[in-house]
Amino acid sequence: LDLGNTESQSQTLEEQTPGFRDDVIRGLSKREKELHCKYLYDEKGSQLFDQICELPEYYPTRTEASIMQQNADAIGHRIGNDAVLVEYGSGSSTKTRLLLDHLDDQRAYLPVDISDEHLMRTADQLRSDYPGLDIHPIVADFTAGFDLPDEFETTPVTVYFPGSTIGNLRTDLAVDLLSEIAKQCHSGGGLLIGFDLDKCPDRLVAAYDDAAGVTAKFNLNLLSRINRELDGDFDLDQFKHVAIYSEEHSRIEIYIESQTDQIVTVGDAEFSFSEGERILTEHSHKYSIDQFESMAAQAGFAMDECWTDDENLFAVMHLSL
Ligand code: AVI
């Protein structure tokens, strides 16, 4: 797959993932407009997400990294030496390096990501930094299910799912995904997963509506992507980024809000927006350790050990079947 972002490459993208057009048309036709958060991660979106991870307000990335660093030996011990490592949503594999540095380097590492270019660049970088590691990048939307290469069918698998990406799924879909992960772990191994802990709403909202406006750019980039790839005419100045915390669902909700009454076209389709009308683009669920443990139990997983930070901002959990 070539997921580049020049005009001609975008056409290739559209031919290869016609789901994008259908999903956008369907999502914008709903009474409560929505766009799937996986579409935030084109090449530009992935770069902006990397910038989000460096923001002072966005604590999850650095907190998870420090939990991994401080507990690397214990985590390495839990994973053991025989399992291949399959990483869901690997992105730049930054946290993986903390793991790889504490594991023997003769194993296989299978990074799975939807953003092809980003994935291949990261894989090349890892190949030169970890010459003993057998690296098999897999371009896939892990929320839609995917098969591991045949050669790994009978090997114990540890799925590494960092970054609290599980929080971007609705709770019932999170259980479904954990059940799929459980199938991949059938030959032994386990799951090492990072998730964001519920906390004071002010801290949460600041993390998703940063002062430098990077999260706003990340969110609005989805409209640029629609303009470029699906022949849309969104005027980005007429929309704004909104992040709110829902107490009821213990989650951050991210929207793109129309600043005026307007009509937007995407290809042949027309969509009308009233002032203040929102498009939902992302949920980011926050859990307690107990809540997460019982959600994972529904997928057949039992918690082995859980690590957190001094402020109880974030948790990293190891589970097995
Ligand atoms: C990828 N995911 C875990 C991020 C989150 O925190 O929910 C996505 C994100 N959206 C805005 N900022 C970060």
Q: What is the pLDDT of residues 186-239, one digit of tens each?
A: 778 899 999 999 999 999 999 999 999 999 999 999 999 999 999 999 999 999
Do the bridges between strand 278-285 and strand 302-308 make them parallel or antiparallel, or are there none, so unpaired?
A: unpaired
277 Cα–ligand 1 center, Å: 22
Nearest CA to ligand 1 atom 3: 165
Taking a C-beta distance cutoff of 8 angstroms, is the pair 204, 167 a contact? Answer: no
ipTM value greater than 0.90: yes
Quote the tokens at residue 4.
Answer: 């580049």
User: Residues 148-165: pLDDT tens digits?
Assistant: 998 888 888 999 999 999
Give the best-scoring range by mean pLDDT among 50-59, 72-81, 96-105.
50-59
How far apart, in whole angstroms, are the C-alpha atoms of residue 218 and residue 221?
A: 5
Q: Alpha-carbon distance 152 to 298, whole Å?
A: 26
Residue 209 Cβ < 6 Å to ligand 1:
no
**Angstrom distances, CA of residue 135 to CA of 1, 111, 239, 246, 250:** 18, 8, 41, 40, 37
- Pocket residue to mutate for ligand 1, from 52, 59, 63, 141, most atoms within 8 A of Cβ: 52
Residue 198 per-residue DSSP state: P
Tokens of 70: 């401080």
164 in contact with ligand 1, CB cutoff 6 A:
yes
Query: Does residue 141 contact residue 112 with C-beta atoms inside 8 Å?
Result: no
Substitution candidate for ligand 1 out of 35, 142, 165, 244 with most atoms within 8 A of CB: 165
> From ligand 1's centre to the CA of 126, what distance in Å?
24
Can you point out the beta strands (E) in 162-268?
Answer: 189-196, 239-246, 251-258, 262-266
Please give the Cα distance from 208 to 139 (Å, whole number): 27
